[in-house]
Each structure stands twice: as C-alpha cells, then as structure tokens.
Structure 1
Amino acid sequence: MSKIDSANMLRFLDMLLKHGNYTKAAKDLYISQPYLTQTIQNAEKELGIEIINRKSSPLQLTDAGRIYYQYLNSLETEKNNFEKQILRYSSPNNTVIRLGVLSSLGTYLLPLFINSYLSNHPKVKIELHEDIPEANEKKTLNGEIDFLLGQNPETISPKLTVKDRGTHGYFAIIPKTSPYFQKGRKSLEPNSISLKNLLTEQLVLTTHGSAIRRQVDYLLQKYRVTPNVILESNNIFTTAKLATSGLGVTLLPESIYVYPNADEFNIYPLPQSVISLDYFIAYQADKTLNQAEQDLIDSFLNNLQRNIDADPTLL
C-alpha cells in the first residue's frame, strides 16, 4: 500500500475532485502544481494502478482510484474512532461521556442542557453518537455509549435504567390542500376537528420504527383507519417541510418548531390525553455513575422540567 500519508493523500484527492484540474487544486492546497502531480504519480507507481483518469475533463477517479479513495476514507474513519476510544484512557484527568441521540431529536434536547452542563464541567468531553433509536439502544446495552436520549420510554429494554420527564404534546399540520384547512388562521381550536377524520387525509409520516410513528400507528389502529400515506421519511424535519408545502397532513411533537403561515397551513393542537410523549435519558441498569455522569442526568432532567414549567408554546 502507498507509503504516502493517507490523510494528506485524501485531502489532495478531495481537492483534485472538487476542482477537476491540478492547477486549481494545488492553489487551494497551498502547494505547487508540480508537487501535487508528482505526489499522485508516486502513489500510482507504488500501487501499480492509475488513480486519476486523465482523459476525462474535469479529472475523475478511475475504477481502481475509487477503490483507493474509499480505502483512504475508511482509514480516516477508523483513526477517528480509535482516537475517540483511546481518549478515555489517555486523558485520565478528563471525562469522556458518550451520548446517543437521534439527530432530529438532538436539535431540540441538546440545547436545553448541554451548554449549562459543560460550563460547569469544563473538563468533560461530550462524544455524540447520532443514530436511529434502535441502534443507539443496542450501543447503550453493549457499553459502546454511556447514555441514550430518547422519547417514549415504554419500549426501552428493562436492562436500562430510564429517567424521564414530561409530558409533551403533539400538533398536526393541516395544509391548504386539505378540506379541513381554514384560510387566515394560524392555529385551530383544540377538539374542533375529529382526529379520526384527520387521519383519513393524505399523510406524510416518519418511517416505521420511530417513536413518533409508533404513536401514530397506535392512533390509526385505535380509530380503525387504513392510512393513505403519501410519503415516509426518517427525518422529522423533512415530513414537517413536506406537510407545510401541501403534500399532506402530518403529526409532530411540540419540540419541532414550525413557523406559522396562515395562508398555507393550519397548526392544530392535539389533546395530550390522546397522544403525548415523555423525553428520557437511559443508561445500563448496573452502571455505577460518577459525579460528572450524575450531574449530566440532573442537568438534563432539571432543564427539561424548566422548559415544561415555562410552558413554551410553538403555536
């Protein structure tokens, strides 16, 4: 394998693919064009392959070059993972807390407490693992991450200790394409529309397996509605955007902010007695918490409670 530093080679190739020629790439890399050309040629000589297809304009990778490029990326990923793991042992004076959360959920939960927590714990390093809930729950059970942030703890493994705080509500987005839309009204009165009727509309939903979808599916079963799902997405912000653009009705937790537009859609609050959620932090049941970890849990719960007590309305 090439003796040239993998990080530098990956950086060189990234810039070369970005610009499609050696001159502009070298300029952005702050190196000479002959040096960049020679570096690529030396790598090709060592590997016994052509990395760059010089017959194409702009320059592109050859088939072998793409394999090499993927290899370089994998090396950097492995190196980054190694550095994160070893940091827990190489820096005994610092605490690394690995926190798992769905990225769309993290945009709401993390700002509530991370800033204040880290200001009180400057030596703590937070390592985020943004993945789907099922994957992060498995990582928590396996000890690959320390804490899991999520919503609706009812289905979490009994091998995890769960600390939850709630309750938060849901609202529906009713676009102007729906017969239930009322032009000129940002939000509609609670209980003014039959939820069963609303669920028979064209729906834009998150994919199966998400905590939100599980609750929506429960409602569909409760009201014996066969849903007309136009599109599914694993990103709650995508479903929100599609609903507000008129594709169909969607149900969102109040943690998702939607800027009102009375000419395009209504916001319809749903009763918490019908659909609601609790946010939680979970960790291995047999885990012995250090002070920094206990403070993280307390910070999460206390700041979330303050958010509830403030009763912020997104409507």
Structure 2
Amino acid sequence: MELEKLKYFTVLAEELNFSRSADLLDIDQPYLSKHIRRLEKDLGFELFDRERRPLQLTPGGKVFFEDASEIIRQVERAKRRAYRASLGEVGKLTIALNSSITNSVLPNVLQAFRSHRPDVELVLCELAPNEQIQQLLDYRIDIGFDFLPNDNHPDLESITILSESLVIALPESHPLVAKSQIPLKALANEPFVLPSPKVVHFYQQIINFCEQVFGHELKVVQQATWMLTVLSLVAGGVGVSLLLKNAQNIQRQGVVYRPIEGKNLKIGIVALWRRDDKSNVLNEFLEVVRDISRRWESKKGRGEFANSG
C-alpha cells in the first residue's frame, strides 16, 4: 500500500470534502477521487459514505483513519530521526574501554560529548586490549581505546590520543619510598607484579626495557589482568610494579607512586575504529576525543597534573 494513498485518505477524512482536500493536496479533484477508489479496492471495503451529505466516514473508514494517521506520524518521526542521525545528532555508539583511558581523558570526553549530543546513546564496555580488535572486526563495538598496536590492521583506522610515561608503584613500607625519584636500576633485584604481555601487549616493551637497564631477566612473581588487582598485590607487599602515569589517579591505600629518574619509556594510547565506518555519530565522537586529548596533553605539558603518593 502506497504512503501517498494514505496521505490522500487522511486529508480527506479530516476535511470530509473532496474539493477542499484536493486544494490542500495541490492536486485535481478527479485525481484524488481515483486514488481513494483504488485504496478502497485494495482494502475491500468503502471508506466513505458518499450517499450522505456532508461526506461521512464509514465505520471501517473511522478505524482505518486512526491507524493510517499513526502510520503517517511514525513515518514522519522516522524521517526526522534519520535526518538527525545523518547529522550525528542521534544514534548509538558502543565504546570499548581500558583502564588507561578511564583514568585519564574518558570523564572529560563523556561530559563534552553528552553536552554536545545529548540524544546519542553511549554504550560503554570494559574489554581487555587483546579483545578489542576482534570485537571491532566482528562489528560488536564501534570504537575502542587500546595501546598502540604492534601492527596496523588493514581494516582499522587509529589515532594516537595520549602518550604516557611509566611510574613506579611501591608498597608504602618499601625503603625506596623515601626517594622523590627512583632510578629504574634500583629495582633490578625487586620482585615485580605486572599484567601479562599476552593480555596487555605493550608490557613486553616494558619487560624488554627493564631487562636492558638491569642487564638480566626481570623477576615477575605475579601476573594480573586489571590495574586494581595489580595495585592490591603491590599494597600487599607481593612486589613492585611499573604502570602508566595515569595510574596515579587511583588512590589505593598502601600504594605509593614515584617517578622514574632518568630515561623512561613512552607508551601510546590510541582510538581504534573500522576503516569502512562512515557514521556521523562516530565522526562527532572522534572530534570530541581529539579536542579533549589536545587539551589534556597541553595541561600535562604545563605540569597541571600533580603526582600522587
């Protein structure tokens, strides 16, 4: 059934006058009459009682008018929503997070984007870094925040949004807490608590970096996936850890953070999305991410983020 016929019918049902309805629709009266007859033929019953004056709806016509009016309203709503979606004003975005982004720019990004596009639904999910790429390729998420990948995937785009150095996490009773800065070599014989490189791939870089400085193999006594677990183990005296600088935003009782004296390692954090995703909602979100990241790096450069511990 054509939407045009429904529109002709609803106008005539409201006006109950062929001549006036034709004028409102900017069509000839015979053309309107022909389309109403065709609609009645499609339905199998008459919509109007043409014997009565003024023109009246039949019982079937009254019921059909209610439903036809709702269909037209739904179509108009759909058109408005689709138009707004084409502008990036409405829609849904599924975002995968890791601890580094949640401890740094994420609150600012969410606040700015919700203020800019309040009708876009944001679905947030926590995923380990090794899960994000596969879920992007499976179309289960729209954008992920990961550490700089070892290899560029041909189906994915990325931008570096942050570059962070390492800090040392120590149990508060550790003798090295007395130092304001600690050379990495001072940890050469310490037991370490680290995430597994199989889960958080950039930790292989950290291990290689430490082993170059120490001149021997790193002593990893415990591995953990999530940062809060790592910090709990550090607080319990299981070992020391090396974490990205944003970890200092987590105030874990029993843990003290200290910067590394001398040479450090920088780890890039990127936003990842599918190369073929042309969504305006995604583009709007990426613009906010870029803007917030620039401000964040600028503040870091001015030393506006104090160290904790």
| TM superposition score category, shorter chain reference | 0.5 to 0.7
1:202-257: CA deviation from partner (whole Å, max 9, x where unpaired): 11111222045233222244334322222211011221232234221101111112
Could you say which residue in structure 2 is the equivalent of 1:236?
227
Shift of 1:174: 2.9
Q: Tell me, yes or no, if the aligned pair for 1:100 and 1:128 is still in contact at 8 Å.
A: yes
Q: Is 2:289 the partner of 1:300?
A: yes
Q: TM-score, normalised by structure 1?
A: 0.60
Deviation at 1:307, TM superposition (A): 1.6
Instruction: Name the residue aligned to 1:309.
Output: 298
2:271 alignment counterpart: 281
2:100–2:244 contact (8 Å) kept in structure 1: no
Q: TM-score, normalised by structure 2?
A: 0.61
Shift of 1:300: 1.1
1:145 pairs, out of 141, 147, 150, with 141
Rounded Cα–Cα distance in structure 1 between residues aligned with 2:140 and 2:251 = 38
Does residue 255 (structure 1) correspond to residue 246 (structure 2)? The answer is yes
| Identity, % of aligned positions | 17
Q: Given residue 185 of structure 2, which amino acid in structure 1 is its aligned partner?
A: K
Match in the other structure for 2:31: none
SS of match in other structure, 1:208:
coil
CA distance in 1, matches of 2:262, 2:151: 19
Unaligned ranges ≥5, structure 2: 1-80
In the aligned structure 2, how far is the partner of 1:176 from the partner of 1:109?
A: 27
Q: Does 1:215 align with 2:205?
A: yes
Unaligned 5+ segments in structure 1 are: 1-90
> How far did residue 123 of structure 1 move?
1.5
| TM-aligned CA deviation for residue 287 of structure 1 | 2.4
Indicate conservation of the 8 Å contact 2:171/2:240, yes or no: yes
> Shift of the alpha carbon at 1:298?
1.3
Q: 2:114 aligns with which of 104, 118, 125?
A: 118
Deviation at 1:153, TM superposition (A): 3.7
Residue 265 of structure 1, CA deviation: 5.8
Superposition map of 1:10-25 within 5 A: none
Counterpart Cα distance in 2 of 1:110 and 1:156? 24
CA deviation digits over 1:252-288, x for unaligned, max 9?
A: 1111124498xx6653213695312222111112322
SS in 1 for 2:246: coil
Partner of 1:3: none
Q: Aligned equivalents of 2:263 and 2:171: distance in 1?
A: 24
Instruction: Give the distance between the partners of 1:249 and 1:103, measured in 2 at CA.
Output: 19
State the distance in 1 between where 2:276 and 2:252 align: 46
Query: C-alpha displacement at 1:177, in angstroms?
Result: 5.6
Give runs of aligned pairs for residues 259-274 of structure 1, distance below 5 A.
Answer: 259=251, 266-270=256-260, 274=264
Alignment match, 1:204: 193
Separation in 2, partners of 1:214, 1:230: 15
Within 5 A, what are the aligned runs for 1:58-137? 94-102=90-98, 105-137=101-133
Q: Which has the larger radius of gyration?
A: 2
The whole-number CA distance in structure 1 between the counterparts of 2:274 and 2:231 is 33
Q: Secondary structure at the match of 1:161?
A: strand
Letter in structure 2 aligned against 1:138: Q
Match of 1:180 among 176, 179, 185: 176
Q: Number of matched residues? A: 215
